Amino acid sequence: MLSYLLRRLAFLVGSLFLASVVLFLLLRLLPGDPANSLLSVGATPEQIEAARHQIGSDRPLPEQFGHWLHQLATFDLGTSFISSLPVGPEITSRLNVTVPLTLLAFLLAVVVAVPVGYVAALRANTRFGTLISGVSQLGIAVPVFWVGMLLITVFALRLGVLPAGGFPQDGWAEPGEALRSLALPVITVALVMSASLIRYVRSAALDVLGSDYLRTARALGSSFTRAMWRHGLRNGAVPVISVLGIELATTLLGAVVVETVFALPGLGSMLAQAVAQHDYPVVQGVLFVSTFAVLVIGFLSDIAQRLVDPRLRGHLASGRMSSGRLSSGRRGAKS
């Protein structure tokens, strides 16, 4: 397990480096010069050259990339072209909205999807199970922004029980108001996420219910609940954990849509504004932080799978033993 952890960490670092290269090159391959965001219409060639020198876009690409890597190594994401403020602290302040929104929606979706998906598997051949499957399929097809606007219409405009958008100016210094502001966005994301999670949980539960080891445990005298708890839980959890990691990463990346609908000052709205203003350091910083979060989520998902299912750890060990036997056989053949 330790060797796998070290290999997976090395893969994480390598993926992060590759992502930094891709982000750097893609932004530089876009048409136009980032210095244009500092200039007004009708700027003279001298002003354009001065702006390019100010932001460093007149330097060779390898030198720019080296400067970018040096910034990452010192935890410096640069300075915004528009506000002239450091990008890192601004991203940190925006994460105070995006991270609670993502985690609360994720937890709510899991609480809803796991029992509902399990019930849908138990009642797969009944009308109730078919209804759950149909509703979840409909939830997957519905766009998240439409769900958000529908909830705003019902709970904010008609009932007036929750705010339609915005976030307290003092942030989490007013936790009650902050939670009220996130209530509708969290429900919006959780409804869409739980619709897809229900399908995966139902599929995993059906595989467990039809497995030979569950029937064997029942034949040996275990009750259904005990057999599911001892044998079915781990086997069904492995594919679900993988999907949970993907859903969590997708929710974090898709925050731009929800934050735009509810006018939340989060990471997604920051990215949308930076793209509109051609503020390259902000775009580069937000995309790098988002990529880093996605890679870390995938890393933790892989580790969780191996902690839950001992067969994966055994597979790694047997793979090493097989490689050792093969090497010994080759040495014997040579001698």
Report the pLDDT value the prediction gives residue 326, as an integer from 0 to 100: 43
Residue 136: phi and psi, rounded to 5, are: -65, -40
Report the pLDDT value the prediction gives residue 319, as an integer from 0 to 100: 47
Higher pLDDT, 59 or 322: 59
Higher pLDDT, 328 or 219: 219
Contact 214, 232 (CB under 8 A): yes
Distance CA 13, CA 21 (A): 13
Distance CA 299, CA 284 (A): 22
Q: For residue 152, what pLDDT band results from cuts at 50, 70 and 90? A: very high
pTM over 0.95: no
DSSP codes, 29-93: HSSS-GGGGG--TT--HHHHHHHHHHHTTTS-HHHHHHHHHHHHHTT---B-TTT--BHHHHHHH
What are the beta bridge partners of residue 79?
86
Report the pLDDT value the prediction gives residue 310, as an integer from 0 to 100: 63
Tell whether the model's pLDDT for residue 332 goes beyond 50. no
Q: Is 40 exposed, middle or buried (0-12, 13-18, 19+ CB in 10 A)?
A: exposed
Of the chain, the percentage scoring pLDDT greater than 70 comes to 87
Average pLDDT, the chain: 80
> Stretch 184-206: mean pLDDT, rounded?
88
**Interval 266-307: pLDDT, tens:** 888 888 888 877 788 888 888 888 888 888 888 888 888 777
